[in-house]
Amino acid sequence: MTRRLRWVGLTFVPSSLMLGVTAFLTTDITPIPLLWVIPLSLYLFSFVVVFSPSQRMPDLIHKVMVGFMPVMMTILVLTTVTDLRRPYWALILLHLIGFFVVAMVLHGEVARDRPAARHLTEFYLWVAVGGVLGGIFNALIAPVAFDTVVEYPLAIILACLFVPGLVLARLLQRSPDSEERRGPVEESTGDEEERETITSSGDAGRPGSRVPALALDLALPVALGLVILALGWAVDSGYFDSILDRSTVWQVFVGLAAAACLWFAYSSSRPIRFGLGIAALIVAVTFANGVGNILFEDRSFFGVYRVSGDAGTEENAYHALVVGDTNHGAQLLGPQPPTPIAYHDPSGPFGQLFELLPGETTDESEIAVLGLGAGVMSCYAEPGQQWTYYEIDPAVEAIARNENLFTYLRDCPGEYDVELGDARLRLAEAEDGRYGMIIGEAFSSDAIPVHMLTREATDMYFEKLNENGVLVHHISNRHLELEPVVGDLARDRGLTCYAHYDDLSNTQPSATSQYKLASHFTVLARDEADLGSVVDDPRWTPCETNAETDKVWTDDFSNLLSTFAFN
């Protein structure tokens, strides 16, 4: 039974890791087939390689992958805990390679342990069970059991625990005597089915040495975690300020902790010690980096939401809504009414629109906002003015209305309704010509709603706008250049389009300037006259467009790869 459970475990981890990598890739970039097909292809390709009829080459590949796996897992963990995200394309490539290495090693271990032909039906059944359980865990159990995305780092830790023992021995050579005793894989007999699988160091055969080794497998990772926490406290207390800046010192300490984990894998050849060491590294660094400033966490089908900042509601307490790793609204508590900050700072492009556009558009007409966030834009409303937010996720509305977190909807002077559901579908039900302004902000982390940036969607928006109405798109994004997409839509539909990217270089000091974020907005109208003073403001320029006029995004065509910023 132990052998069967090992088959399940060895196939469970790559399946779970595949979904974890896919979620990682599509958190900041829209989940198009171009992206999610890559992990799936690597997952299936690993089976093709390790179950190849030719035994010699897969065996050599397996040795190399086993030797490389601890390094790869440690690098992945380092990029996660130190928040290294530049360049983003390299980070994507790194996670894909790490996943492929794990799939090759663990699937390789399964292939090398397959039984004689008469037991293969049962063998492949257990392999399938492991894959199915990995999918069930990520898709059904984890979203309910956890408030944050822990399944991906958990799969990395499990992968480390399954690293075959005696890593260097597997990489460099294999004992001829052991090969002769084991025999070819295909020649395995049913009697071998009950044999104990040895996955730890060579001292497994000496009973007297197992207890101290197992004790060290637990004690050393715990000690490592405690040391990391102590060093984090020392760095925050300024004990190393005379040597280097705190960020550099902290990164050096985290790097040394990662080196200790590698020592567990290579020198000690203890996979349990290595896996628990990686777990201690993740937990300790996460805690040391400031778990204490997390005020609220929740998870839904649409994403993971975290509100961080200063505890309580004291004067000038700062709260920020973070989705993935992207700020989706923030508030400085205390001032009444609240002052919009972050992307919506009054000195930024969004604030400028409310100064430059005609008053009948910004102050007198109803306004629709596609995406609620923290409700930051609410304080641009005039007393009694009606704003309607279209929000797909009830969890977001609950956060925006939680007065312990944000008070925009309570304290700003307008009147606000929240329509739950897909913004494009719900807006289509509204009366034609109802709004003077429609603002598109329906993002999840940095992933964009492609279906809301199409020709058909644009036509629908202008049906819902009055004759002088304007369409605003918030297109701030770290990974995608979206201005040409909007420019193409405007050119295709005969609209006027202006854009402004505020990189903070000209920001004047103010009470909220330290919280201001770089932002990128576009504004579209049927005629230049509808844009008021926007067309005369040097900060606003005509939208960029692509040279090819037949690449306009529609409900049937979009090309996200062409917008990717490779930096």
At residue 297, the pLDDT reads 85
The C-alpha atoms of residue 113 and residue 195 are separated, in whole angstroms, by 11
Sign of the CA dihedral 534, 536, 541, 545? positive
Average pLDDT over residues 538-549: 92
- 553 compared with 315, residue with greater pLDDT: 553
At residue 205, the pLDDT reads 44
- Convert the pLDDT of each residue in 424-480 to its tens digit: 999 999 999 999 999 998 775 567 788 899 999 999 999 999 999 999 999 988 878
Burial of 77 (0-12, 13-18, 19+ CB in 10 A): buried
- 288 compared with 557, residue with greater pLDDT: 557
- 193 compared with 64, residue with greater pLDDT: 64
Do the Cβ atoms of 354 and 539 come closer than 8 Å?
A: no
Residue 503 in tokens:
């990189």
Q: H helices within 113-206, ranges in order?
A: 120-136, 142-145, 151-161, 167-172, 176-182
At residue 235, the pLDDT reads 82
CA angle 132, 138, 143 (to 5 degrees): 140
Confidence of residue 189 (pLDDT cuts 50, 70, 90): very low
At residue 290, the pLDDT reads 65
- 175 compared with 444, residue with greater pLDDT: 444
DSSP 483-505: HHHHHHHHHHTT-EEEEEEE-ST
The C-alpha atoms of residue 328 and residue 310 are separated, in whole angstroms, by 17
Distance of CA 175 to the CA centre of its chain: 44
**Mean pLDDT value across the chain:** 83
Do the Cβ atoms of 225 and 258 come closer than 8 Å?
A: no
71, 311, 510 from 315: Cα distances, Å = 47, 11, 17
- Convert the pLDDT of each residue in 32-49 to its tens digit: 656 778 899 999 999 998
Give the chain's length: 567
Confidence of residue 314 (pLDDT cuts 50, 70, 90): low
* Helices and strands in the chain: count of H runs, count of E runs: 19, 12
- 491 compared with 202, residue with greater pLDDT: 491
Sign of the CA dihedral 268, 270, 272, 277? positive
The C-alpha atoms of residue 199 and residue 106 are separated, in whole angstroms, by 12
Q: How many CA atoms within 13 Å lie on the side-chain side of 538?
A: 0
Residue 470 bridge partners (DSSP): 437, 525
Task: Strand 326-332: give its sheet, edge to edge.
Answer: 294-300, 303-309, 318-323, 326-332
Confidence of residue 312 (pLDDT cuts 50, 70, 90): low
- 263 compared with 534, residue with greater pLDDT: 534
Element (H, E) at 471: strand 465-474
In this model, does residue 197 exceed pLDDT 80?
no
Average pLDDT over residues 357-372: 91
Share of the chain above pLDDT 90, in %: 39
pTM of structure: 0.77
Do the Cβ atoms of 338 and 408 come closer than 8 Å?
A: yes
Residue 33 in tokens:
């087939």
Do the Cβ atoms of 102 and 14 come closer than 8 Å?
A: yes
Average pLDDT over residues 216-232: 87
At residue 137, the pLDDT reads 93
At residue 439, the pLDDT reads 95
- Convert the pLDDT of each residue in 494-526 to its tens digit: 999 999 999 888 887 777 788 889 999 999 999
Residue 468 in tokens:
């002088």
Sign of the CA dihedral 448, 481, 486, 31? negative
At residue 329, the pLDDT reads 87
Q: Which residue has the tokens 């990662």?
A: 258
Element (H, E) at 272: helix 271-288
Least confident of 68-77, 174-183, 420-429: 174-183
The C-alpha atoms of residue 109 and residue 105 are separated, in whole angstroms, by 6
Average pLDDT over residues 52-66: 76
